[in-house]
Structure 1
Amino acid sequence: MATRCVVNVDLVDVWADAGRKKFLRTLGWGDEVSVKKITSSAVEIETVVYEAALDGSITPNKLPGFIVPTRSSGFKPADVVIKAANNEVLRVNFIDVQQGDGAVIETPDGKLILVDGGDNQLFARYLAGRFRGTSAAKPKDVDCILVTHGDADHFEGLPRIFDSETHPEPKKRLFIRPHRVYHNGIVKRPGTRNKKRVPEKELLGPTAKLGDSLYLVGLETDLLKVPDADMNAPFLKWKKALAAYNKRRKIVFRRLELGDTKAFSFFNQGSLNIEVLGPITETVAGKTGLKFLGDPPKGPRMGHESLAQEDLDSKGFSASHTINGHSIVFKLNYGGFSYLFSGDLNDEASRFLAREHNKGTVNLRSEVFKVPHHGSADFSGAFVQAISPVVSVVSSGDENARKEYIHPRATLMGALGKHSRVAEPLIFVTELVAFFTYEKLVQNVDPQVARKRGAFHGFSRAAFGLVKTRTDGRRLLIYTDSANVKMKEAYAYQLDDSGQPTPSVVVRV
């Protein structure tokens, strides 16, 4: 009978033959394995190999495999896996969802948090491959879905998970049962009313004045109670999926803000915990409010921290700038390592947080930084400096001209390097860790399209973009895949005597 275990070293190669012949795949620290037998020379496991079909789709196939440490590695077979009950590894994966965000947090004891989900099927497909074998009778429990803010590129892909339940291919189906849905309370209204464009100030719900500033005071909590007429199309689709999920298990909805100490009581345990650092609310006319932000100065700006305050302040009213600026910001801590998630935070809002950091109200310093807004030029250098990241992850993609924003910007990438606390920081971009294979010159089969477009060069995806991180609170591993299944880009850090991360050798057996 197989034993549920996890990998106990950075990277282990899996072979089809116990003599280290016919390479199958590489597993990472904390990955689950089903162990059949451990001998003096090998660990016999059941593994999954992802094979590409002729149409480019990926099929997971279960196969027997062997982990065979070499003598030179210094590891015995019994050292490379441990029982799952003894697992201490937190896994955080950043998924390439093109122009959007999507991340998965998995704790050592199996808790699962989804952070955003892009605006296409990529996040749903990744999750269906990661959590195989679900059904209507046996859905995957998701402890929390956290939507940092209500822009389509951060949550429109989540209803695709619900849509996948009726996909004709079983391998692409995923049934889930969310326990909690957290968000920032801002719901986008339809963009038109009586065939006329709705003013910016009316796109995000009721407002109130406080001095010279305008505030959103109609913040929502339970999304299922928001009238359909008060939701734009992406929100309506999300509401429909949530209503279906709510029938499986009553969902706890929560609006997050700075200082919410109870939201993650289900998650926090010892040195593993989550702090909510934003958005920052104010009390306006007896109600909780979020300041309505304006359009940022045109950029990109170089050295903008040295500009006068009046040159930095936003002007007018911008619904998109407001919903971005009030993204949920949270810090995931585990032992001596921290992750900072920042949604689409912009310059104006991140300067608020930087000032709070300098006052000692919040602590932004983190080793791993999910960079805001896909690497936009609308950022605060003071905010990046407060974080002083060792590893930065930019989630971006240029899938078509309509979604091309020149992300990530050169100024942002330079700031990430300049303000890191280490001499050679790591900066990952999700679209750059995906790989494609050139296929051939393709002729358009549609005559009408062919007259406009003609032939085009065809590519297939050889490796999906994933930035994988693992930590037990004392050590941090970061790695990515490539089109060459044997090749990984991998780095490791360990804490020195003063608690600072220092480079460590990546162990591969």
Structure 2
Amino acid sequence: MTLKYARGPVSYLYRDVEKNGKTSRRKVKQVLWGDWIDVRDPIDATWAHVRYGKKPYLMKRAELQDERVLELIFLDIGQGDACILTEPGHHHPPRVMVIDAGIGRNTNGFLNWRFRDFDNSGQIHAAIVTHPDADHYRGFQPIFENRRLRIDHVYHSGLVERVGDDLLGPEQGGYLSDIVASDAQLRPLLADPARRGRKLYPKLMQTALETDRIGPVTALTTTHAVQENGRAWLPGFAPADGGLITIEVLGPVVEPDAAGQPRLRAFGDRPTSRSMDEGKTKNGHSVLLRLDFNGFRVLFGGDLNTSAECFLMQHYGGVPVSAPLAASAAELAAIARPEAIAAAGERFGVDLMKICHHGSSDVTEEFLQAAHAAAYVVSSGDEEGHVHPRPDLLGLLGKMGAGARPLLLSTELLRSTRERERDDLRPTLDRLNGRIEAELARGAAADATALKEMRAAKRKLLDEVFRRNVGVYGAINLRTDGRDAVIAFRKEKAPAHRRWFYYEMRRDPDSGGFLPVLGDGH
């Protein structure tokens, strides 16, 4: 067995098919750039026997490569966020990170599939819980309980929900000071059942602490990170670590008090609000990450909101930072100055942005100008009352994005569902049940072969009647070697050898950023 990877943007798996006494080699499955291919043995200079998953195929040797690309999969988990990151390069096994996990079991199911060919367990380098909102963290519960998975490190925002009047800890003077940075601080907080209550976030953190397959559980903020060249970095992904990718920590932004103790400011419903809004505060202090791979940059925006974005634009834009819960119109106007947007763009400017808060319109134009991405990913779901993604937000992204035609990709919009269940099959099912009952009524004279065939037909009908309504999930794949990039998703209805629709992105010589190749996609 030799592990190689499919060349991009797409490659093909073949099988020899016999028809009318003749054998022809046909494409049977399309694979995406960077997909893992188990190469067994060469056939000749052109072809090789391979396995994809557990199934055997033939593949052109020219469509295989040794280099592992950066892989990001924004999972379609309904309402919520979940991203699986696999680092590029030759490190084996590759470091895999899970950035949020949605609200249900979809992410856990995907990880089981991802590690399906490993005998013992799958190794996850880091689980990053960006903030304590259920549609970001609850999907980690089955992951933490999954005995097939081992997790080296769990990171969180430092704000831990608890029972009581102070959901996020005491607030004084517009700041939250109970920043839970380490295992040593988290354990006594969760040891008190009265503080945990029946809340699900403390239960999740307690599970992580008590599970021997999971490593340290610590905060990840601009202070609780690796410090290098005046910036904060995810441990193991700082420039000095010498890896192919760097991951900078841009939030939560810690503002120490006079004694040097860490604090996080409270956010109100709006930037000029005079009282703390707990939801805006925990969302506004999402773990905010910027990944860089040879100049291809990605921003993971958590659930930021207008209040948080205004503060971040002040902090990174060189604008004097207002006191918490006391921003004036003049202070906020300063973030719209071109020099402030340019300065903030040095930290937030990216090629692909995971849009904040599932496509909510609670955003600032200035923050989107600073990011100035050429591609946007919106993770949202059906059957929710938030109206995500908001139509005005989608229009704003097109207006603020880089290039002539920015890419707006939504997991919800790319999902394919059938319009209705197959109620038309129920009369056929009823007639079949009647035939089975009539045959059984014959007792010893019943035709066993006929019964077997009818029961098989019934199972097939039931499979069709009760099959899941989602035909194709709207997961969005990014693959890049830092020189070119491909963004791909599954077609709603297509044969296996034409199942991917994709856009290519290439570096623009003028701006230095990546832009979509003009055209209709592939």
Please say whether Structure 1 and Structure 2 have the same fold, judged by a TM-score greater than 0.5.
Answer: yes
C-alpha change, 1:79 and 1:23, in structure 2 (3 Å) is closer
> In the alignment, residue 32 of structure 2 is paired with which amino acid?
G
2:266 to 277, 287, 292: 292
Matched, 1:159 2:141: yes
Which has the larger strand fraction? 1
Instruction: Give the Cα–Cα distance (whole angstroms) in 2 for the partners of residues 237 and 409 of structure 1.
Output: 33
1:264 CA drift (Å) = 2.6
State the Cα deviation string for residues 279-325 of structure 1 (Å, max 9, x = none): 122123532111111223xxxxxxxxxxxxxxx52342211110001
SS of the equivalent of 2:72 reads strand
State the Cα deviation string for residues 132-153 of structure 1 (Å, max 9, x = none): 1457xx3222111111111111
Instruction: Give the Cα–Cα distance (whole angstroms) in 1 for the partners of residues 220 and 162 of structure 2.
Output: 18
Counterpart in the other structure of 1:383? 367
1:30 to 28, 34, 39: 34
SS of the equivalent of 2:218 reads strand
Instruction: Give the Cα–Cα distance (whole angstroms) in 2 for the partners of residues 429 and 258 of structure 1.
Output: 33
SS of the equivalent of 2:469 reads strand
Where do residues 359-398 of structure 1 align in structure 2 (5 Å cutoff)? 359=318, 360=343, 363-398=347-382
Where do residues 62-461 of structure 1 align in structure 2 (5 Å cutoff)? 62-67=54-59, 77-83=60-66, 87-108=67-88, 109=91, 110-133=94-117, 138-165=120-147, 175-190=148-163, 198=165, 202-209=166-173, 214-221=174-181, 222=183, 223-227=186-190, 228-231=193-196, 233-245=199-211, 247-248=212-213, 250-251=215-216, 253-257=218-222, 260-262=225-227, 263-268=233-238, 269-284=242-257, 286=259, 287-296=261-270, 313-359=272-318, 360=343, 363-398=347-382, 400=383, 403-437=384-418, 438-441=420-423, 460-461=469-470
Instruction: Give the Cα–Cα distance (whole angstroms) in 2 for the partners of residues 20 and 288 of structure 1.
Output: 68
1:416 CA drift (Å) = 0.8
How many equivalent residue pairs? 427
SS of the equivalent of 2:136 reads helix
SS of the equivalent of 1:316 reads coil
Structure 1: stretches of 5+ with no match in the other structure: 49-61, 68-76, 166-174, 297-311, 444-455
SS of the equivalent of 1:288 reads coil
1:189 CA drift (Å) = 1.7
Instruction: Give the Cα–Cα distance (whole angstroms) in 1 for the partners of residues 195 and 386 of structure 2.
Output: 29
Instruction: Give the Cα–Cα distance (whole angstroms) in 2 for the partners of residues 323 and 81 of structure 1.
Output: 45
Alpha-carbon RMSD: 2.7
Which has the larger helix fraction? 2
Instruction: Give the Cα–Cα distance (whole angstroms) in 2 for the partners of residues 188 and 140 of structure 1.
Output: 29
CA contact (8 A) 1:278 1:326 kept: yes
C-alpha change, 1:29 and 1:344, in structure 2 (3 Å) is same
Q: Tell me which moved more, 278-287 or 336-345.
A: 278-287
CA contact (8 A) 2:299 2:353 kept: yes
Higher alpha-carbon Rg: 2
CA contact (8 A) 1:435 1:464 kept: yes
SS of the equivalent of 1:363 reads helix
Instruction: Give the Cα–Cα distance (whole angstroms) in 2 for the partners of residues 418 and 314 of structure 1.
Output: 28
1:186 CA drift (Å) = 0.5
> In the alignment, residue 248 of structure 2 is paired with which amino acid?
E
SS of the equivalent of 1:349 reads helix
Counterpart in the other structure of 1:52? none
CA contact (8 A) 2:225 2:235 kept: no
Instruction: Give the Cα–Cα distance (whole angstroms) in 2 for the partners of residues 496 and 281 of structure 1.
Output: 35
Instruction: Give the Cα–Cα distance (whole angstroms) in 1 for the partners of residues 359 and 367 of structure 2.
Output: 14
State the Cα deviation string for residues 30-77 of structure 1 (Å, max 9, x = none): 1110012333343321123xxxxxxxxxxxxx211122xxxxxxxxx3
Instruction: Give the Cα–Cα distance (whole angstroms) in 2 for the partners of residues 358 and 20 of structure 1.
Output: 62
Instruction: Please give the TM-score of this superposition, normalised by the length of structure 2.
Output: 0.76
Instruction: Give the Cα–Cα distance (whole angstroms) in 2 for the partners of residues 291 and 159 of structure 1.
Output: 29
SS of the equivalent of 1:323 reads helix
Instruction: Give the Cα–Cα distance (whole angstroms) in 2 for the partners of residues 390 and 409 of structure 1.
Output: 19
Instruction: Give the Cα–Cα distance (whole angstroms) in 1 for the partners of residues 366 and 179 of structure 2.
Output: 29
1:250 CA drift (Å) = 3.7
State the Cα deviation string for residues 171-204 of structure 1 (Å, max 9, x = none): xxxx2111111111001123xx5xxxx4xxx111
1:26 CA drift (Å) = 1.9
CA contact (8 A) 1:111 1:267 kept: no
Instruction: Please give the TM-score of this superposition, normalised by the length of structure 1.
Output: 0.78
Instruction: Give the Cα–Cα distance (whole angstroms) in 1 for the partners of residues 237 and 217 of structure 2.
Output: 14
Instruction: Give the Cα–Cα distance (whole angstroms) in 1 for the partners of residues 57 and 264 of structure 2.
Output: 54
State the Cα deviation string for residues 332-387 of structure 1 (Å, max 9, x = none): 00012100001000011112222344333652110000000001111111101110
> In the alignment, residue 218 of structure 2 is paired with which amino acid?
F
Quick one: percent identity of the two aligned structures? 29
C-alpha change, 1:20 and 1:409, in structure 2 (3 Å) is farther
Instruction: Give the Cα–Cα distance (whole angstroms) in 1 for the partners of residues 290 and 256 of structure 2.
Output: 24
Instruction: Give the Cα–Cα distance (whole angstroms) in 1 for the partners of residues 13 and 421 of structure 2.
Output: 29
SS of the equivalent of 2:423 reads strand
Instruction: Give the Cα–Cα distance (whole angstroms) in 2 for the partners of residues 127 and 377 of structure 1.
Output: 32
CA contact (8 A) 1:261 1:275 kept: no
1:43 to 30, 44, 48: 48
Displacement over 6 Å in runs of 4+: none
CA contact (8 A) 2:99 2:130 kept: yes
Counterpart in the other structure of 1:492? 504
State the Cα deviation string for residues 90-146 of structure 1 (Å, max 9, x = none): 1011001111100011012311111010010111111111111457xx322211111
> In the alignment, residue 86 of structure 2 is paired with which amino acid?
E
